[in-house]
Amino acid sequence: MNRILVALAGATLLATPVLAEDVTLELWSRQDTSGPLRPGNVVKAAERLNAELEAEGSDKRVIVEVRESPAPGFDEDALQLLRVFGIGEGPDMFIQAHEWICAFQQDGFVLKLDDYLAKYPEHFGTIFPSLWESGKCPDGTYAIPQDAEARMFFYNKKLLREAGYDDAFIEAMPERTMSGDLTMDEVVEIAKSVVDKTDAEYGILHRPSKGPDYLMVFQTYGNDFVDPATGELLLERDKLAEAFGWFEKAVADGVIPANNTSMEWDAIRAEFYAEDNAAFWMYGIWDLGSRAFPTYGLPEDEEAFFKDWGWIAMPAAAKGGKPSSLTHPVIYAIAADTAEPELAVRLLGHASAVDLNTDHAVTTTHLGIKPEQLDDPRYAAAWPLARATELLEVTKFLPNNPQFGDLNGIIYTAMQGVETGRLSAEEAADFVIDEAEATLDNVMVK
Question: Could you give the string, one character per residue 72-101, with x where binding to another protein holds by CB under 8 A and - elsewhere?
Answer: -------x--xx-xxx--------------
Instruction: Using CB under 8 A, pick the residue from 28, 74, 109, 247 that binds another protein.
Output: 109
According to DSSP, the β-strands at 60-69 and 93-97 are: unpaired
According to DSSP, the β-strands at 330-334 and 144-145 are: antiparallel
Q: Is 445 in the site for another protein (CB under 8 A)?
A: no
What's the min distance (Å) between Cβ of 414 and another protein? Answer: 8
- Report whether 396 contacts 215 (CB < 8 A): no
Instruction: Using CB under 8 A, pick the residue from 284, 310, 399, 417 that binds another protein.
Output: 417
What's the min distance (Å) between Cβ of 27 and another protein? Answer: 20
What's the min distance (Å) between Cβ of 275 and another protein? Answer: 11
Q: Is 70 in the site for another protein (CB under 8 A)?
A: no
What's the min distance (Å) between Cβ of 204 and another protein? Answer: 17
Q: Is 299 in the site for another protein (CB under 8 A)?
A: no
Tell me whether residue 117 or residue 333 sits nearer to another protein (CB atom): 333
Q: Is 438 in the site for another protein (CB under 8 A)?
A: yes
Instruction: Using CB under 8 A, pick the residue from 47, 65, 107, 266 that binds another protein.
Output: 107
Instruction: Using CB under 8 A, pick the residue from 191, 352, 406, 432 that binds another protein.
Output: 406
What's the min distance (Å) between Cβ of 318 and another protein? Answer: 29
Tell me whether residue 103 or residue 313 sits nearer to another protein (CB atom): 103
Judged on CB neighbours under 10 Å (0-12, 13-18, 19+), 187 is: buried
Strand residue runs (E) in 249-292:
278-284
Residue 415's closest CA among 219, 260, 269, 202? 260
Q: Distance between CA 57 and CA 343 in Å, rounded?
A: 15
Between 341-351 and 37-56, two packed helices, what is the crossing angle to 10 degrees? Answer: 120
What's the min distance (Å) between Cβ of 438 and another protein? Answer: 4
Instruction: Using CB under 8 A, pick the residue from 105, 141, 198, 416 that binds another protein.
Output: 416
What's the min distance (Å) between Cβ of 271 and another protein? Answer: 10
Tell me whether residue 106 or residue 130 sits nearer to another protein (CB atom): 106
- Report whether 328 contacts 400 (CB < 8 A): no
The DSSP secondary structure of 347-392, one letter per residue, reads HHHHHT-HHHHHHHHHHHT-B-SSGGGGGSHHHHH-HHHHHHHGGG
Tell me whether residue 79 or residue 392 sits nearer to another protein (CB atom): 79
Residue 429's closest CA among 221, 259, 256? 221
According to DSSP, the β-strands at 136-137 and 93-97 are: unpaired
Helix and strand totals (H; E) in the chain: 21, 15
What is the strand order of the sheet 60-69 is part of? 60-69, 21-30, 93-97, 330-334, 144-145
Q: Which of the 8 DSSP states describes residue 397?
A: P
What's the min distance (Å) between Cβ of 441 and another protein? Answer: 10
Q: Distance between CA 299 and CA 304 in Å, rounded?
A: 6
Tell me whether residue 17 or residue 108 sits nearer to another protein (CB atom): 108
Stretch that binds another protein, among 254-262, 292-300, 317-325, 337-345 (CB under 8 A): 254-262
Which residues sit at the interface with another protein, rule CB under 8 A? 79, 82-83, 85-87, 103, 107, 109, 258-259, 261-262, 406, 409, 413, 416-417, 420, 422-423, 434, 437-439
